[in-house]
Amino acid sequence: MLPTISFIMKYSLILFVIVLTVLGFTSCCEDIQMVNLGIESEYYLSRMTKLELKSSFTGCEYRWTLHCKNEIDSLMSTSDRLLFIAAEEGTYDISFDIIDDFTPYHHDFRVTVMHEEVEYSPYISEVIEYNPAPGQFINEMPQYEDGDTNADMVRKAQECIGGQNNVMISLGAYGGYVTFRFDHTVMNLPGYDFLITGNAFYELNNPEKKGGSAEPGIVFVSYDENCNGIADDKWYELAGSEYYKPETLHGYSITYYRPDIDKKPSPDGFLTDATYIPWIDSLGKTGYVAKNSFHTQDYYPKWYSGESVSFCGTCLAQNAEDTSGIGRYYVLYSYDWGYVDNHPNEYEELNSFDISWAVDEDGNYVNLPAIDYVRVMTGINQYCGWIGETSTEISGARDLHIPETKLPD
């Protein structure tokens, strides 16, 4: 039987109402979206983890205030964005205000900071870059094998200095560097934040003079400010004891040239080739990374593709003294503090670093709440006869805010 006209009309009407309801509901949701501040009323996250909050409303001024029990409220940010991070577990009551004559706004919310599900490791979790300058330990620490790519060498560097492996890598002559991270963000708490180990030692003759083999490496830090998990944010140098001294060069750069495979060596004593790898620096000075008879492998990183490699940064004054006067005995003196491979590892404080030492390119202190990436760079351009170029070595690093993991016996 065919449906009657009135039956069709009745059901069309119901269908029409349903369509209207759906449309109405959708447009209502869109309206809610449009007036949504974009900030929830509750958040849960692990300690030392970033929470990025951004207002979708605009106004003249913004104010993010942390309300502390029995304490004065503290102003966390005056931007439309808040990057919240906390070292301590607990609840954080925050209010967000838009100060505006026409559209003022107030929103209270709570962040609950919890202990991480998988315990953080205090040690290096990942090497991101391994870009050494030429040197007598290059292609051996870590070991280059035929066909190794840059990624292979980064992995090998990670196998050396990651976790508690504690195997030394060399950064080569001035400018060579390594970049690494931990499995969490390292907080800037009062005092030292992380420690880096090297292979510095004091000589036995005058240990009180703190000299021997000190090959200071400069430390740089970076905070994953844009929260993309990539080290593409601004870098800050940690200003060690030498940073503001007149003899310290800022904005220095150097270029090393790949040695010609047909080059005729120019031997000189222990040096099998005194003119092995030429360099020129930003002051117009030139020199060589010489080859010595103790290390016979190639000194130019074999996985580098270019005919030259350049590095730039701060260059510290030379620290070596030829105490024999005839090139037989060199003492490399330690700088006071704030450098890697500069004091023996047993002096933990002298191998520890405070994120509060971070300075911008003009030498002004910046206030970093935490950091995600660390870079260590050989900080001196110096050649000491038969003992060779001054090169920073590192064997590991540790976040001082996470308890040490005891290795099984």
**Binding region for Ca ion (CB under 5 A):** 188, 193, 199, 215, 224, 226, 228, 230, 232-233, 341, 354-356, 393
* Cβ partners under 8 Å of residue 20, min gap 6: none
Tell me whether residue 159 or residue 233 sits nearer to Ca ion (CB atom): 233
Tell me whether residue 273 or residue 341 sits nearer to Ca ion (CB atom): 341
Q: Nearest distance from residue 357's CB to Ca ion, in Å?
A: 8
Tell me whether residue 159 or residue 354 sits nearer to Ca ion (CB atom): 354
Q: Nearest distance from residue 344's CB to Ca ion, in Å?
A: 11
Query: What count of other Cβ atoms lies within 10 Å of the Cβ of residue 173?
Result: 30
Identify the residue whose tokens are 């066909």: 147
Q: Nearest distance from residue 349's CB to Ca ion, in Å?
A: 13
Could you tell me what percentage of the chain is helix, strand and coil, using 3-state DSSP and rounding each to the nearest 5? 15, 40, 50
Q: How many CA atoms lie within 13 A of 306 on its CB side?
A: 9
Tell me whether residue 28 or residue 230 sits nearer to Ca ion (CB atom): 230
Residues recorded for the chain:
409
Q: Nearest distance from residue 373's CB to Ca ion, in Å?
A: 8
Q: Nearest distance from residue 186's CB to Ca ion, in Å?
A: 9
Tell me whether residue 139 or residue 319 sits nearer to Ca ion (CB atom): 319
Tell me whether residue 224 or residue 298 sits nearer to Ca ion (CB atom): 224
Cis ω for the linkage preceding 142 (within 30 of 0) = yes
SS3 119: coil
CA distance 112 to 89: 8
CA distance 297 to 135: 10
CA distance 137 to 396: 17
Tell me whether residue 217 or residue 259 sits nearer to Ca ion (CB atom): 217
Q: How many CA atoms lie within 13 A of 71 on its CB side?
A: 10
Tell me whether residue 16 or residue 294 sits nearer to Ca ion (CB atom): 294
Tell me whether residue 226 or residue 293 sits nearer to Ca ion (CB atom): 226
Q: Nearest distance from residue 310's CB to Ca ion, in Å?
A: 23
CA distance 220 to 359: 9
> Residue 276: what are its φ and ψ, rounded to 5°?
-65, -65
Pairing state between β 370-378 and 177-187: antiparallel
> Residue 26: what are its φ and ψ, rounded to 5°?
-60, -50
* Burial status of residue 27 (CB atoms within 10 A of its CB: 0-12, 13-18, 19 or more): exposed
Q: Nearest distance from residue 330's CB to Ca ion, in Å?
A: 13
Q: Nearest distance from residue 133's CB to Ca ion, in Å?
A: 14
Q: Nearest distance from residue 43's CB to Ca ion, in Å?
A: 21
* Burial status of residue 238 (CB atoms within 10 A of its CB: 0-12, 13-18, 19 or more): buried
DSSP character for 365? B
